[in-house]
Amino acid sequence: MKPILAKSRDTLERFADFDPATLYEASGRRGIVDPSIRPAWPGAKVCGRAITVECPPADNLMLHIAVASAPAGSVIVATVGSYVLAGAWGEILTEAARARGVAGLVIDGAVRDIDAIQALQFPVFSRGLAIASCTKERAGRLSVPIQFGGADVAPGDLIFGNADGLVVIEQSRIDEVYEAAVERRKKESEIIARLRQGRTTLELLGLRDPRDGAERS
């Protein structure tokens, strides 16, 4: 069995030029994350293998534990029960994550210290912002399958996101989805070239006007 984060750098480089919509379509329309989980600052982009974290609401002890053990290149994928009245991540955890080479955070919950996080150019996606602090006392779960924004995420899955949103690709399907994404991008490039020559999307996509053959008003 391959290590969860084996070839993580290669994964980043292969997928860097894609977008979430293309990867979602290439995966058979699987892995979409609730679009309410958005980049915490403009231009944030994340791509890497998931380290999963499940925290109790308003407690971020497990996030500190996750950062302390996270391999370089990993993305922390965390849920706090969708609780958004306390910021579970801020400047201190960002500095700790950067020091360990963590590639980003996506959290179904709230974060804080966004100006500092943006200045550090650390990718963060969250459901909201909140200035209240969390306790650091209660146990959660680490490196287990979780539900994240309506998507199933297991340790080692690929998480990819930019301004358009987030998508999850199962670890066992990463190569398959990559090849399908390459083919999809090739076809889209061909369509765009033909559109610029004056063709229509109706022609190129084989679409039919449902009014054809019926009386038009």
pLDDT at 17 over 50: yes
With respect to residue 188, please indicate whether it lies within any of the assigned structural domains: no
Q: CA angle at residue 166 from 174 to 89, to 5 degrees?
A: 115
With respect to residue 213, please indicate whether it lies within any of the assigned structural domains: no
CA distances from 192 to 148, 189, 197 (A): 34, 5, 9
The number of domains in the chain is 1
With respect to residue 64, please indicate whether it lies within any of the assigned structural domains: yes
Which of the four pLDDT bands, split at 50, 70 and 90, describes residue 6?
very low
Q: What is the pLDDT of residues 22-41, one digit of tens each?
A: 999 999 999 999 999 999 99
With respect to residue 44, please indicate whether it lies within any of the assigned structural domains: yes
Give residue 41's domain range.
8-171
Q: What is the pLDDT averaged over residues 125-145?
A: 96
Task: Collect all residues with Cβ–Cβ distance below 8 Å to 85 and sequence separation of at least 6.
Answer: 58, 110, 130, 132
Cβ pair 105, 138 in contact under 8 A: no
With respect to residue 195, please indicate whether it lies within any of the assigned structural domains: no
Q: Residue 179 CB: number of other CB atoms within 10 A?
A: 11
pLDDT at 4 over 90: no
Q: What is the CATH number of the domain that holds 87?
A: 3.50.30.40
pLDDT at 8 over 90: no
pLDDT at 143 over 60: yes
Q: What is the pLDDT of residues 47-100, one digit of tens each?
A: 999 999 999 999 999 999 999 999 999 999 999 988 999 999 999 999 999 999
pLDDT, residue 5, reads 44
Q: What is the rounded CA–CA span in Å between residue 179 and residue 177? A: 5
Q: What is the rounded CA–CA span in Å between residue 5 and residue 71? A: 8
With respect to residue 199, please indicate whether it lies within any of the assigned structural domains: no
What is the residue-averaged pLDDT of the chain? 92
Q: Could you give the angle at which helices 61-69 and 91-99 cross, rounded to 10 degrees?
A: 20
With respect to residue 181, please indicate whether it lies within any of the assigned structural domains: no
